[in-house]
Each structure stands twice: as C-alpha cells, then as structure tokens.
Amino acid sequence: MPACRFVVSQVSLLIWLSWPGPRLGDATKVDENTNLITNHCQMSIRNGLFLLLFLLCQDSGIGQFMEENWITPFERDSSWSATRQEAHDYLDRLSAASPRVQTRTCGVSDGFLPLYEVVISADGETDPVQVKASGRTVVLINNAIHPGESEGVDACLMLARELAFQPDMQALLTDLVVVILPYYNADGGLLRSPTYRANQNGPRLQGFRGNGRNLDLNRDFIKCDSRNAFTFSRLFQKWDPDIFVDTHTSNGADYQATITVIATQPDKIPPALAEFQQQTLLPGLYRSMARAGWPMTPYVHTDGPPETGIHGFLDLPRYSTGYTALFQSLGFMPETHMLKPFPDRVRSTHRFLHSILHLASAHREDLLRARAEARNQALNCREWPIRWTLDRDRKDSLLFRGYQHTYKTSPVTGMDRLFYDRSQPYERIIPYFPRYRAVATVSRPVGWILPQAYTDIIERLAVNQVQMYRIEGDTVLQAPVLYISSEKTYTQPYEGHYPHVDVQVEERKEEMLVRTGDLWVPSDQKAIAYLMATMDPRAPDSWFAWNFMDGILDQKEYFSAYVFEDLAADWMKEHPELQEELNQALLEHPEWNSDPRAILDWIYRHSPYYEPTHRRYPILAIPTPVAWSLKPFTGVEP
C-alpha cells in the first residue's frame, strides 16, 4: 500500500507541475497572445484530479512533502514572481530537507547583498574538482541578471524541488551536477514596481534592470565594473561548466512563439564545439521543446519586421554567453516573449531547463569530448579572428510563425505606427542569416608583457585564473610596439564608459624597458581565447576598448611656440628629408598654411621632444620566445 500511495503521489505531483493552464486560484481567460483557450472545465478537471490523488497519499512521503508547503510563490499565485528573499528562503528550506541540495553564499552584489550558489548533485558533492574527476558534466544556470525578466527564478525553484524529490529527475544527477545562481542582480531585485517594464505582460511586480550602481550586468562580463561580475567570474572559473544558461525575456517584434533562444555564435568557437552545438545540442533542444508544446524559434533579431529576415546575434564577450564561450563553455540564452502571459513564460523556461539537463545527460560523453577537443583546437590556433560582421552571403531560411504587420495612425503622435495584427497569424519561410565572418584577424603571440602599473587589468586576469609570472630583472627588449593611429569613441556614455571602436594601429619596432615586477602572460594556456579577446586593442571588448588605458591618449607635454620656433628651425636644418614630408602634409591639410601652430605641432611630433608614450599601447605582444627569469604570480601588487 505505501508503494502504491507513493506512485499515486508522484502522478499527483506530475499533474500539478506539467498540466497546461492555470493553477488553483488563477483567473480563467482567453489568451489572445497565443490563441490558446484555457477554460474552466479543463482547470476543474486538473485541480480535481490533483486533489483526489493528494488525498490518497496523505500519509506517504509525498503527502508530507506537499504538507510542508513546497509549492513555490509562483505556483501559489501565477501573477507573482518570487522575490530574492523568497527564493533564497525556499532554497534554504530545500537544502535542509534534501541532501542533494546545498546552498551557500558565493559573493556579494555592489549593494553588498549576498549572492547565492546552489549546488544540486546526487551525492551532495560541492567540490568542483571531485565532480570533474567523477566524469559528470556541470550545468550552470544564471537568473535575474535583469530582475524584470524573472521567469528563470521561478522555473529554477521548481527545478530544484524536482531534482531534490522526484526520482525521474534525480536520475539525471548520475550524469551531471546543476549549479544555480538564483538571483544574480540582487540590488535590482530590491526595486520592484508594476511599471518598470512598460512593454511586458507581467508579473505583477517587476525588478529593475540596473544593479546597485545602475549597471546592466549583461554588459559587464569583461570590464567587471561590478562586484557581481567578479563574483560570477570566480564562480564560473571554479566550476568550469560544460553548459551555461542565462534566462531572459525578449523585447522587439511580436510573433507566435512563447520562447526563443540565443545560442553561442558558432563562428566564434572552435570547430569541435561548434559542430556539437549545431548538429546535436541545438536540434535536440528544438525537438524537445516542440514535443513539450513550446515550439521555439531562434531569437528574433531583425532590422525590420520578422518577415524581412532575422539574423544571428553576435554575443560579444561583454555578454554572458560570449564570455563563457571564451572558455569553451556552451552558452544558451532562452528569451521568452515579453507579451506572452507570465505563467506561460515561466513554464516554457522551466521546460527549456528540463530539456537542457536531459540533453546534457544523454550526450554527456560527446559533450565532454567536444570540449576537450575544442580546447586543443584553441591552443593550437595560430591566427585568431578578433572582429566579425554578419555574413549576408550565407543565407538560410526557416519556417516562422508570426503576425501580419501593418501601419496605422497613432492617436498619440498623429503619425504612422507599427502594428502587429494578432487576428492574422501566418506561417511562412523567411530569410535567416545565422553566420558571421571575421573581418580582422591577428597572429597569436607567444605571450604578452603587461606593465605592473595596470593593476585593474591584472586583477581581472587573476580572477579569471589567467596564468601570469613576474619578470625578474630589468631588461631592454627589441619588440614590436603598437601605436593607436585612430579610433572612434562613443559620444554618449555606455555602461559607465565611453568605449572605443574601429581602432586602427601602427606597428613599430622599438627598444622597450621591461621592469622587474612586470607581468609575463604566456599564450599557451586555457585562457587563450579570453586573452585574444582582451589584450589586442582592436578587439571590440579589449581593455583599450573599455577605456582601461585612456591615459595614453592624452598628451602630457607640450611646447610654447615662441620657444620651440628656434628648436624647430634647427631640427629641420639637421633633417632636410622632413621638409618633403611636411610639404606633403601641407598639401593634404591646406588649412595649415594659415595656422603656424599646426605646422609647429607637426614638426614637434617628428622631433625627439615629442613624448614617446603618447598613443603608445602599453601591452607588448611578443612574437618569439624570450629567455626570461620569472617567478610565480602571487598577487596584484608585486
């Protein structure tokens, strides 16, 4: 009899968790967004079955499970998303009730709120070294990076409960360990309002996108301006996950799908990993989601209405999945549609996480093999793409389910406005541009010399477990030196910076003083992709791009014209070849003929009086081996 009641209890729980439509207390309505009718009869049958089965198992283990109130805040009220404190409290109770679930603080936010790390394993193991040694895969799930996009918080509470108590889900833990960051942007989660997301359908209260310093944390994974990002880097490097999921809600066009997905851009990752993602993991995800009643489409990233074509998203390293890809961790960003009902968005996210775990378990050996091969490919790669552009020559197509768009007169502005007509759904083949091509490639050096003065960069390299060594003994080195010849700079602030783009450089061979205590960073290491993305100034998420070296752009020494006139005359006499160059410059800049200061400045810049550090990039990329005297890196300060 107890076994019978246990089986019945499992059926009860599965009906409660998986039946489409509202929970007890949900409003009955016709959902115009998805054309799904949730009727009172369906709800009554489901709830009646649940209550009947629940009564049959009151003295079973699952009866106690339900009596102890394991229903999540969302399941109690499907218009409500759990607060950070509610999520942490629920997971702490779960940890106390199940040896499979362990919770601990892994760091703090910018507002000094604790960030939780939840580890779910079959044996309660929380040591990443032991987990890796056992051959299990690691799946890391990040939630509430934008607290107004909180579906993942509620989905993960249900997922954690299932992994703790449901035998079918516990079976997955034979092959994998799940690590959850339940509420990454803790500060933004404190600011909840019904009006933060003007173009989003629920939940009743939504968190705020900015963190305690008003930063968008999904632009902070390289520059690490926030304590959150440092915490994430430490956690990520500790666990080295095989798969990473960052849960989101989309903005943009209106269409029929409840959930879309951004996968790591395959043209930016080693071939072995790209092949596994494109041939195994992504097709499996799409099939699994379709079977579960949540057909997906690629993230709808467009230059116009979707029928004009959608294109792949270039997840640069500033974004979560772009950062994780630098360490050969496959990243997925499920994006639920903002206008779909919040309960559907939570349930589709929950199903997405189920699908990821099942695929990670089913293809464990292939996944681990692909990552190992990809790391070897990265270590052996000699020419590295650092900038990409959408490849419109490699056009694909896909079946897209959208709504007919039109334009109508706005009662607000009196001008035309875009309008999606949900009474006119369509299915049609549309253009799809999923691929990118490299537009800038650089040769991989044997390593880099990083001046010890740049402690903010050293700190970020260290938290990402980059191998570094201190150079012993001052050395004069003949080396290729880059000078920033031109760059474009944002005219408006972007995430606390004025980034540089379209950076052009000039290379010169010069003698450089390398000081005792400067850093030697070899390229033959696991972090090679991270280094190639940050150490070259032309890369879009380089240290230079994010203003870590803006001091080199300021000229520190100048001249007084009445003093330099005589020096300039002597210098030009001693170097008559410069007169021809100056004449050419005057042809290119005729305005200088009426600007003596401009002519003097040209001569100054071609004289020994001009400071050598102006626009000189301080990191040296060393192309051939050098015999260094090195000592281990022990901290940011030498």
Per-residue pLDDT tens over the stretch 36-83: 333 334 434 444 444 444 444 444 445 444 545 899 999 999 999 999
CATH number of 91-380: 3.40.630.10
Band (pLDDT 50/70/90 cuts) for residue 638 is confident
pLDDT tens digits, residue range 473-498? 999 999 999 999 999 999 999 999 99
Q: Which of 16-25, 171-180, 278-287, 417-426 has the lowest mean pLDDT?
A: 16-25
pLDDT at residue 402, rounded to an integer: 96
**Residue 87: what are its φ and ψ, rounded to 5°?**
-65, -45
Q: Residue 314 and residue 179: Cα distance in Å, rounded?
A: 26
For residue 51, what pLDDT is reported? 42
What is the per-residue pLDDT for 69? 82
Q: Average pLDDT in the 208-222 region?
A: 97
3-state secondary structure of 14: helix
Question: Residues with Cβ < 8 Å from 357, sequence gap 6 or more?
Answer: 139, 169, 172, 176, 178
**DSSP string for 547-594:** TTTGGGGS------HHHHHHHHHHHHHH-THHHHHHHHHHHH-GGGGG
On the question of pLDDT at 630 being above 80, the answer is: yes
The pLDDT tens digits of the residues spanning 554-575 come to: 999 999 999 999 999 999 999 9
Q: Which of 513, 528, 534, 537 is nearest to 612 (CA)?
A: 513
Q: In the 8-state DSSP scheme, what is residue 27?
A: P
What are the tens digits of pLDDT across the range 349-371?
Answer: 999 999 999 999 999 999 999 99
Contact 243, 356 (CB under 8 A): yes
Q: Which of 444, 446, 463, 514 is nearest to 633 (CA)?
A: 463
- Copy the structure tokens of residue 372: 């190992």
Q: Is the peptide bond before 203 cis (omega within 30 degrees of 0)?
A: yes
What does the pLDDT average to over 246-270? 95
Do 630 and 520 contact (CB within 8 A), yes or no?
yes
Can you state the angle between helices 40-56 and 2-18, rounded to 10 degrees? 160
Average pLDDT over the chain reads 91
State the pLDDT at residue 24.
33
User: Binning pLDDT at 50, 70 and 90, where does residue 518 land?
Assistant: very high
- pLDDT tier at 7 (50, 70, 90 boundaries)? very low
Q: So where are the chain's domains?
A: 1-68, 91-380, 386-437, 438-555+614-632, 561-605
pLDDT above 90: residue 14:
no
* pLDDT higher than 70, residue 18: no
Percent of the chain beyond pLDDT 90?
A: 87
Q: How many residues belong to the chain?
A: 638
What pLDDT is stored for residue 52 in this prediction?
47
pLDDT at 266 over 60: yes
pLDDT tier, 135 (very low <50, low <70, confident <90, very high otherwise): very high
In this structure, the number of other CB atoms found within 10 A of the CB of residue 566 comes to 9
What pLDDT score was predicted for residue 304? 85
Helix (H, G, I), strand (E, B) or coil at 26: coil
pTM, two decimal places: 0.89
Determine the Cα angle at 541 with ends 383 and 457, to 5°: 100
For residue 634, pLDDT beyond 80: yes
When pLDDT is averaged across residues 540-565 and rounded to a whole number, the result is: 96
Q: Are strands 330-336 and 259-263 parallel, antiparallel or unpaired?
A: antiparallel
Q: Would you state the pLDDT for residue 628?
A: 87
Predicted local confidence at residue 39, as pLDDT? 37
Please answer whether residues 449 and 622 qualify as being in contact, where contact means their C-beta atoms are separated by less than 8 angstroms.
yes
Q: In the chain, count of helices (H) and strands (E)? A: 20, 23
Read off the pLDDT band of 252 (50, 70, 90). confident
Tokens of residue 179, six digits:
């690590």
Per residue in 392-426, is it b (16+ CB within 10 Å) or e — as a string?
eeeeeeeebebbebeeeeeeeeeeeeeebebeeee
Exposed/middle/buried for residue 492 (C-beta within 10 Å: 0-12, 13-18, 19+): exposed
| Predicted confidence (pLDDT) at residue 246 exceeds the cutoff of 60 | yes
Q: How many CB atoms lie within 10 A of CB 562?
A: 7
**What is the pLDDT confidence band of residue 35, given thresholds at 50, 70 and 90?**
very low
